[in-house]
Amino acid sequence: MKRHRNVKIVATLGPASSSYAMIRALVEAGADVFRLNMSHGTHEEQKARYDIIRQVEADLNVPIAVLADLQGPKLRVGTFADGPEDLAVGAAFRLDLDPTPGDVTRVQLPHPEIFAALRPGASLLVNDGKIRLKVVECGADFADCTVVVGGAISNRKGVNVPDVVLPLAALSQKDRVDLEFACALGADWLALSFVQRAADVEEARALAKGRAAILAKIEKPAAVDDFDEILAVSDGIMVARGDLGVELPVAAVPPIQKRLIAACRAAAKPVIVATQMLESMIESPMPTRAEVSDVANAIYEGADAVMLSAESAAGKFPLEAVRTMENVAIEVEQDPRYRELLDASRMVDRSSIAEGIVAAAREIADTTDVRAICCYSRSGKTANLVARERPRTPILVLTPLVRTARMMCLSWGTICRMTETVDEFRSAVVAAVRIALAENLADKTDHVVVVAGVPFNTVGSTNILRIAPCDERLIYGTDVA
């Protein structure tokens, strides 16, 4: 299966997409990564989906990444005695620890840590920001508020606190159980929800013990403020625009998205743009023009991947949603302006030998008739450096590790294939040429660029580049300089 675009597609699995037939069809339509949302479904249901993914992977002989998305600390109000209540603008409303069912004047907020952190003037957003409260007075067990934006409030609606860094554990007890389950299952990526600080990522990494890569979801103002530190300790980033658009002015989200994508590319770490990308396709077989533009803009900005949530998990048209993303990506990447934007945003500050090697590989590939850049990589770091360069030619990633092959499914432009462990550069060149020919990336009259590190099987040792001919002498191991 050869993709005709470089950006990757993440599809969330759910009730609408749990059968073998549908999951295989989604891969054939364009899905590169499947997201298991740990907020919904049982462990048994998620394991059944995981097992099907691995069966499809084996049947199609292509690596498929699995991203387990942890729920994170969910803040919710309690219940109401008489059902939903309508809060009027200017009315007083109290949040407290009293478990008694609420009414139009008060409701329980069973999170004492929030009250400990609140200050007068802070905002509280309820039900995805549809209701906005301003704290007038607060204490250890209450917050007296004024209703700034009114509306209907009902049982267990979510609460956002955008103005305060909350003293919440990054991982709830449920998250810890889900993390261990996902790692034991074999998930390739763990996505952390409601990250506020770099320490949140480090905590998850300690629990994962190297069994999965860590992806931080940026959906809190505190995470935006601390982004450089969070990026430094993360393996990847998700720009989760749902809660981000609740806790920040919606007009602030597009420039933040652009800035985060640029920072991720500079760090050579994959970045996903997510939330409401084709929202209308939950109910409609056709997206809105605005949604198509949203997906296109994320691709123009240089995102590694774009993501479907409810569209593929619970919508009526999961297959059409993936096909739409595929078609938008192909159309955008054929636009000459797309290439101009990528070239204009390329990093020029390269401080390491590895960065110089991959930059040279891209320059050679872009200015000659070289057909592909082939990189031998155990950790994926070399491949991500090549992907950061956004070359015009395909990036063929060769690795002996199935986990690395799957992880790379999230990185821009990479075609990941398994190969045997090699101990010398000559063997890596032969493997690169053979696989490039087998994948129809080149023919015997062509050349490929091969990037690797000596000594072999040492992470971070990228230090050698060769332009290799794809001819019979090389294939059969003779006359190889």
Per-residue pLDDT tens over the stretch 233-273: 999 999 999 889 888 889 999 999 999 999 999 999 999 99
pLDDT digits (tens, 9 = 90+) for 197-215: 999 999 999 999 999 999 9
CA distance readout (Å), 197 to 41, 167, 223, 232, 377: 28, 11, 6, 11, 30
The pLDDT tens digits of the residues spanning 360-416 come to 999 999 999 999 999 998 889 999 999 999 999 999 999 999 999 999 999 999 999
Looking at per-residue pLDDT, the higher value among 449 and 350 belongs to 449
The mean pLDDT of 174-183, rounded to a whole number, is: 97
pLDDT-derived band at 30, boundaries 50, 70, 90: very high
Report d(CA 22, CA 48) in Å as an integer.
Answer: 13
Catalytic residue among 3, 76, 134, 323: 76
pLDDT mean over 36-49 = 96
At 446, give phi and psi (nearest 5°): -95, 175
For residue 76, indicate whether it is catalytic.
Answer: yes
The whole-number pLDDT of residue 481 equals 41
Q: What is the DSSP string of 420-436?
A: ---SSHHHHHHHHHHHH
Specify the higher pLDDT residue, 283 or 478: 283
The pTM of the full predicted model, rounded to 2 decimals, is 0.91
Residue 225, Cβ neighbours under 10 Å: how many? 13
Decide which of 52 and 116 is more confident.
52
Full DSSP string of 116-168: HH--TT-EEEETTTTEEEEEEEEETTEEEEEEEE-EEE-TT-BEE-TTS----
- For the chain, the residue count is 481
Of 35, 157, 378, 388, the active-site residue reads 35
What gap in Å lies between CA 367 and CA 274, rounded to an integer? Answer: 34
- Name the band, by pLDDT with cuts 50, 70 and 90, for residue 471: confident
- The reported pLDDT for the residue numbered 425 is 83
Highest mean pLDDT among 68-77, 320-329, 455-464: 320-329
Question: Looking at residue 480, what is its pLDDT?
Answer: 45
Domains of the chain: 8-72+170-333 (3.20.20.60), 85-160 (2.40.33.10), 353-475 (3.40.1380.20)
Q: What is the pLDDT of residue 477?
A: 56
Q: Which of 49, 94, 275, 324 is catalytic?
A: 275
- At residue 80, φ and ψ (nearest 5 deg) are -120, 140
Active site residue 217: yes
- Which of 8, 106, 157, 217 is flagged as catalytic? 217
Tell me which of 231-240, 257-266, 349-358, 441-450 is least confident.
349-358
pLDDT class of 319 with cuts at 50, 70, 90? very high
CA–CA gap between residue 169 and residue 234 (Å, rounded): 18
What percentage of the chain carries pLDDT values higher than 70?
96
For the cut 80, the answer to whether the pLDDT of residue 476 exceeds it is no
Question: Active-site residue 275, yes or no?
Answer: yes
Q: pLDDT averaged over the chain?
A: 93
What does the alpha-carbon distance between residue 397 and residue 384 come to, in Å, rounded to a whole number? 10
Beta bridge partners of 34: 11, 66
Supply the pLDDT for residue 228: 97
pLDDT for the residue 348: 67
